[in-house]
Chains A and B, each alone.
Chain A
Amino acid sequence: MAERNAMEMAEYKWPEPERRRLIGKRISRVDGPEKVTGRAKYTYDVNRPGMLAGKVLRCPHAHARIVRLDTSAAEKMPGVKAVLPLKKVGDEILWAGDEVVAVAAVDEPTAEDAIRAIVVEYEKLPHFVLDTDPKAAGERVRPTAEQVEGDPDAAFREAEVVVEGLYGASLITHCCLEAHGAVVEWEGENNVLVHVSTQAVSGIAGQMAGPLGVPAGNIRVKQDHIGGGFGSKFGPDSWGIAAAQLSKMAGGRPVKIMLERDAELMVAGARPSYYGRVRVGAKRDGTVIAWESETWGTGGIPPTSPLPLPYVLRIPNQRKRHVAIVTNSGPARAWRAPLHPQACLLTMAALDDLAAALRMDPLDLLLKNIELAGERADVYREELQIAAELMEWKKRWHPRGDPSPGPVKRGLGVSIHTWPGRGHACRCDLTIHPDGSVEVKLGSQDLGTGTRTAIAIVVADTLGIPLEAVRVRIGDNQYPPAGGSGGSTTIGGVSSAARRAALDALDQLFARIAPLLNASPDQLEAWEGRIRVKEDPSRSIAWEQACARLDGMPLTVRGENPGPGELTTAGAAGVQMADVSVDIETGIVRINKMVAVQDCGLIINMKTAESQCYGAMIMGISYALYEEKIMDPATGRMLNPNMEFYKLAGLADIGELVVHMMTGEKYDRRGVIGLGEPPVISPGAAISNAVANAIGVRVPFLPLTPERVLEALAKKGGSHARV
């Protein structure tokens, strides 16, 4: 038996290409039909009997102290069921929009009236929201220790070319189309039911237990579908806790608090701004030898951490300094690939400027230095070549500054990126029912990435049954716990756990069926709806008949990640190129085409993998050209907490997009690697580089608004600046 176990252990791997009927193919989302018919339920759609409307009174000032708080009038209003102060007199408020009082009432208008009836007096305190200049920030800077590798001073002396540039990306928000929020109700004294829009179904109860004073095991968390998270929906949030407390005060009636759009943009998370001065030193042949960066930026009150610089390419000699600027801009949260898009921009733009100074094609400069990417250098080399072909780079690239006549200048840019993406800790229960149907349960969530579909693909392929025979149940914390969907860890986690569960279940089923087929269990395989003897496929039994042998008892097996066999690893590599047109009279940038070439190890579903790349490129176009959380120096408030001036790219703003996923044995053998984040990293850098290539000058900061493009052109001078 010991020998057999060892053999089983060796079986925990992904099937060979010829054994994949579903894995890696283009499979439509299993929940597509629900979503296109409007049947899919999101937290915002939850409508519970007796439900109360919850609203939050928010502080209008960016920095203030509460000197008076009187909720008595609101409490007395008919229809108001609970009033819960979230702050008290004397408390200091550190950003506009922070929560002060929550109320629950019979309907929204009544709740709004109650909010208006609350009297709060503030002592306004000085606020600060500027983040582009650390010298203007006075005492609000928080320096971190200088980091040095190699001998940067000697390297810069040795360098034959040194370029220096200023780059950065403004504060932006997540702007989930479904706002943050929850519907919470008490069932008796000690049990709580929570519907919440979350990226971490299994993680919510533990975060609510303390504040609510009930055991985590008594908190039931549910979510069918979520309308976007992008890193901003991992906790119950203060308003989720408030909804629970209001419900308790109202005798357990369900309380729904979904953020209004302005609150969503003001307080439900932002990607920190980062700016930096970068010096790069190189040999005349383009060999990069020295890096120096001084960075700053803000994520509100908690200091921002240093960026992973220089990005991807490990330049041997470096010196890095970072100062965080502490501002009243509101809370920051993880935003799809935290720190990477900013680090990528600072690095890839600096290298692009170096290439321009050397009169080199930046693609050649990257290839020249690609060994600095370490382990993944060969992947980047291959990807850069494929991207160049898809973009016709060598034919179309021109040195910096499009010499063609007319106001519209065209240019190309390139960038590379990386992301770990190893699968998270995850458990799942797989049940084979005697009727042959299969259920998989886990406390995971599908952010629209196709998690349900991926699990179904893995299980169906492993068991040799059709996709439709597998029912995936997620979105409930009564199922085995699965990690939160952050860091592109979900696909690796859920697919590995599901694969192990399915393999183990199959082994158990084989053990029952083997005697019927006069074979030993290890001689069996599951293929196309039958269990058969590998050496003699004519000896087989239909899947349903095999399952009927379970004696009426469903077979349930637990699958886990991590576990035996290396089914998921880390280290996705990707390349993107952008082709833009810039109207130098208006400063308006249009995307003609973008190319993404991406590796993510073994691909479970080609269709949803490509979707991630398309979506990420568009999100990238959006933050590269349009998005900015505009903070007002006068009031300290966000000036554009709406979708009118917080601008997202529309369908006619994106140009042609080309996605190429890397496939083949070399990629398959690394197992599954997450993909949600990697392709959103490079667009900012690739587009910024393309704009510089088009107009002949660097526009330092994203988004590349007309204002910033014209300013850069004016500084460059010459006839481009004015018409």
Chain B
Amino acid sequence: MDVRLLTLNVNGEQHTLAVPVCKTLLEVLREDLHLTGTKHGCELGECGACTVLVDGEPILSCLALPIELEGREILTIEGLMEGGRPHPLQIAFAEMGAVQCGYCTPGVVLSAKALLDRNPMPTRQEIAEALSGNLCRCTGYIQILDAVERAVAWVRERRLILEEGRS
């Protein structure tokens, strides 16, 4: 078996580990790094439950090989907290009832984060398009849309307050 020693940057930490090249990023995150917030869903790239961000963009960890991702910044749901504080999206999802069984939630939150980083003022349509690679079965789509909009508003308010403070 082709096993390589890889150094992966996950949530800002460098991890060096021996990985069979045929092991997916999803499996390495969950089994080797014990980051089980990234979920097994369909295994074939259709449900988005395994979404993580690589250099800020959402990808499917079930279809990615870790060996291709050395030197890239991998962000999982566990790395979304900033200084021990939840990301506005996390707060909004919890408060708006956008979480039901919660199994799709980490992937959805990360897809939303990638959108907000690129486009801080998305329309509802743009949010829907950005989350079209994530399926929810419970299904909380309406509250998910509401939660992303709420987070957008918070981030905007916070920025306005900061700007006012400066001026």
Contact = CB atoms under 8 A, between A and B. Distances in A.
A–B contact at 8 Å CB threshold (below): yes
Interface of A: 28-29, 31-42, 44-45, 47, 108-109, 175-179, 225-228, 230, 258, 260-261, 447-449, 607-608, 610-611, 614-615, 618-619, 622, 642-644, 648-652, 654, 657
B100 to A, nearest CB: 4
Given A36-B86, A37-B86, A258 B93 contact: no
5 contacts: A36-B99, A40-B102, A227-B39, A643-B44, A651-B144
A593 to B, nearest CB: 12
B43 A33 contact: no
Interface in B123-145: 128-129, 131-132, 134-145
A622 B138 CA distance: 11
B42 A642 contact: yes
A609 to B, nearest CB: 10
Contact of B36 (A47, A108, A607, A650): A47
Given A611-B140, A644-B46, A449 B100 contact: yes
Contacts of A654: 141-142
Across chains A and B, which 10 residue pairs bring their CB atoms closest together, nearest first? A38-B37, A448-B101, A32-B94, A227-B103, A35-B102, A38-B77, A45-B36, A448-B100, A643-B46, A36-B90
Contact of A261 (B37, B43, B86, B132): B43
A642 B46 contact: yes
A42 B99 CA distance: 14
Given A39-B37, A622-B139, 16 more contacts: A29-B97, A33-B94, A37-B77, A40-B102, A41-B36, A44-B36, A44-B39, A45-B30, A226-B101, A261-B41, A614-B143, A619-B137, A642-B46, A650-B132, A651-B144, A654-B141
A652 B61 CA distance: 23
B31 interface: yes
Contacts of A448: 99-102, 138
Interface residues of B, number: 58
A178 B50 CA distance: 12
Given A642-B42, A651-B134, A177 B47 contact: yes
B95 interface: yes
Interface of B: 1, 20, 22, 27, 30-31, 34-44, 46-47, 49, 76-78, 80-81, 86, 89-91, 93-95, 97, 99-106, 109, 128-129, 131-132, 134-145
Nearest to A258: B40
Given A225-B102, A448-B100, A611 B94 contact: no
B142 to A, nearest CB: 5
Interface centre among B34, B36, B144 (most CB of A within 10 A): B36
Contacts of B142: 614, 618, 654, 657
B95 A32 contact: yes
Nearest to A229: B101
B39 A178 contact: yes
A42 B136 CA distance: 16
Contacts of B136: 177, 651
A677 to B, nearest CB: 14
Contact of A607 (B31, B80, B97, B128): B97
Given A619-B137, A651-B131, A652-B129, A37 B104 contact: no
A227 B101 contact: yes
B43 A38 contact: no
Contacts of B39: 42, 44, 177-178, 227
Contacts of A31: 102
Contacts of B41: 177-178, 261, 643
A179 B43 CA distance: 11
Contacts of A651: 128, 131-132, 134, 136, 141, 144-145
Interface centre among B42, B101, B128, B132 (most CB of A within 10 A): B101
Contacts of B27: 108
